[in-house]
Amino acid sequence: MPETLALNAAEFPRCCDRCFHSPERPCRDLVACLESGPLCHEDDACAAKLTARREAAMRLTGGNAVVYVGTGTCGLGAGAAKTLRAVRAWLHEHSHEAEIVEVGCIGICSYEPLVDVQLPGRARLSFSRVTEEAVEPLLTSLFNGEVPRELLLGQLRGEGGEPWPDLPYLDEHPFFAPQTRWVLANCGIANPDSIEEYLARGGYRALARALRDRTPEEVVKTVEESGLRGRGGGGFLTGRKWGFALRTPADQRYLVCNADEGDPGAFMDRAVIEGDPHRLLEGMAIAAYAIGATKAYVYIRAEYPLAITRLRRAIAAARAYGLLGDNILDSGFSLEIVLKMGAGAFVCGEETALIHSIEGRRGMPRPRPPFPAARGLFGKPTIINNVETLANVPAILDRGPEWFGSVGTENSKGTKVFALSGTIARTGLVEVAMGTTLRDIVFAIGGGIPGGRAFKAVQIGGPSGGCVPESRLDTQVDYETLKGVGAMMGSGGLVVMDERTCMVDVAKFFMDFIQRESCGKCIPCREGTRHMLEILQAITRSRGREQGKTALERFQGVIHLQRLARVIQDTSLCGLGQTAPNPVLATLRWFQEEYEEHIFERHCRAGVCAELRQLWIDPDKCRGCSICLKRCPTGAIIGSPRQPHTIIADKCIGCGTCVEVCKFDAVLVA
């Protein structure tokens, strides 16, 4: 059952003592009043109070230090909970009255746990890798006036008080400098649990203005003019999609936020919700207003407990403030937002499957048309947008479509958030202007491949996407260009791979993922992807395991691979099926020679495919200790004690146990 969130204890924000509004008597100017009020009367005392309130929310006043701990899921994974405890203990021990604020992830995940410290009156400083043990030395030296440079990432521009002379700014750090942080503006900076802070940073201004000054048609037009396209993969013009729903006559329409982020290596939505949930809520409220929906769902993975908690708190706070619920800001527009937890089926990211899942049915796609915008959830016009798309909306309304369109390329406007992972120096969440090259993302922001190894490919767009090789690294990220190199924007997963990666193995990994996550409904996807996987498995199989006609079948499989891929693309029911062969096609396109090596020479140049590994013992190094002989699981090693041993290739399965146990490095891998 979807759960309706109860109103929590947060109170209705009366802007000043003379304010007579209440949840029952909402104020249409609430947001503006909090920003620059009071509006309905002249009173210096009230104005001063409001100013103080904003400054308190921004932590610009007050004599206490503030310690920010990044407790997003990535931070927690790196030990932020222990760091937080250590910070508390240290402050308690030293009787410091410092305020502790938990924030989301600022994006540089590989430097977690991140701790920011804002000493009274000074600019906020950001420190990396502040593990439990590092807390004491850090805080001790800071509170003694020493800034430990080795942990310092930089000072935050415009956060806190007086800047530190001689200290670098965080936005000059190579990870942050090339970024354009719009959606992520507050992530890791602001307290996600504080609606006051979001308001103080200009939040809900766009919603208030839209409700007061614009018709739904105007909002749709603005979003369409901005050129915002769906950030969930397809890249359809968001405003145009909204228009379809708005123009479909109905007694009820629904907005659904798709937070069922399922691509391997993708965590953009999670980070946005954990770091800045109110931005999503504001975007949803604007979208719901634009399409005429009074009920909205957030379909979110149950595996995102922290995001769910923060979103739940944010919804409760927004309701208490009258920014959600009945008659929002006295506009006559009402919106209820319901959380619906997904059980982790990849296919439920597909619109119609997601709709089925919310309806309480098995998450399986259905044919389109009818499109959800015409007939969706419970048979009503439904707009499904992903988290990042909706999170872009407030700024578009606030600053205008021209501002949004000023960044990006001809057909892809604005920014895109990517989750950078794999063998790369700096992993994390990055937001770049559309049109930034992959090279800039991988090398400038991500810091390139660690350990001096060579770059091989970057996988972009999740299972439906593709792998881009070194030779195409100057590809700009925008919807069309990426398609041109056999990849796709997808939701924003970016997995960097170095020379130790086998591309056949990568294809195998994704095919395995796809065939396991296929909903099982349509035959080409269900049966076809399994066969594609089996063909790949056959390619990476050793000769020793082949009997009868399997060698012939292995070749037959290869011959049929492309035809099979074409039919799957051509006939599958939903987008997932239609793009299911991409992992194979994209790797085949740029790494055909690796496939050929596997097929014809049974050789894996990366040494990843265990069965194809050829191991041999260097007789000059082998002392005949027999350890490898005893440990070999298939009895493939022969030899007399104290005499050089030999590996029988036909019996060897390439598991590498002998390599691990040899004390003399005598086992070589070819």
Partner 1 sequence: MLTLQVNGRPVQARQGDTVLDACERAGIRIPTLCHLAHLTPTGACRMCVVEIEGQRGLVPSCAFPAADGMRIETHSQRAVEARKVIVELLLSNHPDDCLYCVRNADCDLRELAAELGVRGRRYFGSKLDYRLDTSSPSVTRDPAKCILCGKCVRVCEEVQGVGCIDFNGRGSRTIVGTAFDQGLNVSSCINCGQCIMVCPTGALAEPNSLPQVLAALADPEVFTVVQHAPAVSVTIGEEFGVRYGVDVNDTLTAALRQIGFDRVFETSFAADLTIMEEASELVHRIQNGGALPMMTSCSPGWIKWVEQSHPDFIPNLSTCKSPQAMLGSLVKAWYAERQGVKPEKVFTVSIMPCTAKKFEVGRPELSRDGMADVDAVLTTRELARLIRMRGLDLQKLEPEEADQPFGERSTAGKLFGASGGVMEAAIRTAYFLITGKELEELKVQAVRGLDGVKEVSLEINGMKIGAAVASGLGNARKLLDEVRAGRKDLHFIEVMTCPGGCIAGGGQTLRVPLEAVKARMQALYAIDRDGPVRTSHGNESVQRLYREFLGEPLGELSHHLLHTHYEAREVVR
Tell me the closest approach of the beta carbon of residue 524 to partner 1, in angstroms: 6
Among residues 312, 500, 521, 631, which is the contact residue for partner 1, using CB under 8 A? Answer: 521
Which class for 17: exposed (0-12), middle (13-18), buried (19 or more C-beta within 10 A)?
exposed
Q: How far apart are CA 67 and CA 87, in angstroms?
A: 8
CA distances from 170 to 69, 152, 155 (A): 16, 9, 5
Beta carbons of 509 and 467 less than 8 angstroms apart: no
CA distances from 410 to 228, 285, 377, 490 (A): 12, 28, 34, 19
Measured from the CB atom, is 177 or 523 closer to partner 1?
523
Measured from the CB atom, is 360 or 452 closer to partner 1?
360
Measured from the CB atom, is 249 or 369 closer to partner 1?
369
Count residues binding partner 1 (CB under 8 A).
Answer: 39
Measured from the CB atom, is 122 or 362 closer to partner 1?
362
Residues 348-367: x/- map of binding to partner 1 (CB under 8 A)? --------------x-x-xx
Should residue 226 be labelled a site residue for partner 1 when binding is judged by CB under 8 A? Answer: no
Measured from the CB atom, is 212 or 362 closer to partner 1?
362
Should residue 493 be labelled a site residue for partner 1 when binding is judged by CB under 8 A? Answer: no
461-467-471 Cα angle (round to 5): 130
Beta carbons of 345 and 11 less than 8 angstroms apart: no
State whether the Cα torsion 479-482-488-493 is positive or negative.
negative
Tell me the closest approach of the beta carbon of residue 509 to partner 1, in angstroms: 15
Measured from the CB atom, is 43 or 553 closer to partner 1?
553
Among residues 85, 247, 516, 545, which is the contact residue for partner 1, using CB under 8 A? Answer: 516
Record the tokens describing residue 219, joined without a space. 């909002």
Among residues 14, 122, 212, 530, which is the contact residue for partner 1, using CB under 8 A? Answer: 530
Q: What does the radius of gyration of the chain's CA atoms come to, in whole angstroms?
A: 28
Measured from the CB atom, is 531 or 605 closer to partner 1?
531
Tell me the closest approach of the beta carbon of residue 345 to partner 1, in angstroms: 7
Considering only residues 545-584, where is the footprint of partner 1 by CB under 8 A? Answer: 550, 553, 556-557, 560, 563-564, 567, 569-573, 578
Q: How far apart are CA 479 and CA 387, in angstroms?
A: 18
Considering only residues 408-467, where is the footprint of partner 1 by CB under 8 A? Answer: none
Should residue 519 be labelled a site residue for partner 1 when binding is judged by CB under 8 A? Answer: yes
Should residue 517 be labelled a site residue for partner 1 when binding is judged by CB under 8 A? Answer: yes
Tell me the closest approach of the beta carbon of residue 559 to partner 1, in angstroms: 9
Q: How far apart are CA 160 and CA 147, in angstroms?
A: 16
390-392-395 Cα angle (round to 5): 125
Measured from the CB atom, is 362 or 605 closer to partner 1?
362
Tell me the closest approach of the beta carbon of residue 51 to partner 1, in angstroms: 56
Among residues 422, 524, 581, 639, which is the contact residue for partner 1, using CB under 8 A? Answer: 524
Should residue 375 be labelled a site residue for partner 1 when binding is judged by CB under 8 A? Answer: no
Should residue 534 be labelled a site residue for partner 1 when binding is judged by CB under 8 A? Answer: yes
* Number of other residues whose CB lies within 10 A of the CB of residue 623: 15
Measured from the CB atom, is 167 or 567 closer to partner 1?
567
Quick one: DSSP state of residue 598?
I
Among residues 43, 527, 546, 597, which is the contact residue for partner 1, using CB under 8 A? Answer: 527
Should residue 529 be labelled a site residue for partner 1 when binding is judged by CB under 8 A? Answer: yes
CA-wise closest residue to 61 among 53, 69, 71: 53
Tell me the closest approach of the beta carbon of residue 568 to partner 1, in angstroms: 9
Contact partners, residue 180, CB within 8 Å, separation at least 6: 407, 415, 431, 432, 433
Q: How far apart are CA 512 and CA 495, in angstroms?
A: 17
Measured from the CB atom, is 347 or 396 closer to partner 1?
347
- Ramachandran assignment for 538, one of left (phi > 0), alpha (psi -120 to 50 degrees), beta (any other): alpha
Q: How far apart are CA 81 and CA 324, in angstroms?
A: 32
Strand partners, 646: 638
Chain centre distance of CA 390: 14
Residues 310-329: x/- map of binding to partner 1 (CB under 8 A)? --------------------
Measured from the CB atom, is 487 or 576 closer to partner 1?
576
Chain centre distance of CA 369: 30
Tell me the closest approach of the beta carbon of residue 538 to partner 1, in angstroms: 8
Measured from the CB atom, is 79 or 370 closer to partner 1?
370
Tell me the closest approach of the beta carbon of residue 560 to partner 1, in angstroms: 6
Contact set with partner 1 (CB under 8 A): 345, 347, 362, 364, 366-367, 369, 515-524, 526-531, 534-535, 550, 553, 556-557, 560, 563-564, 567, 569-573, 578
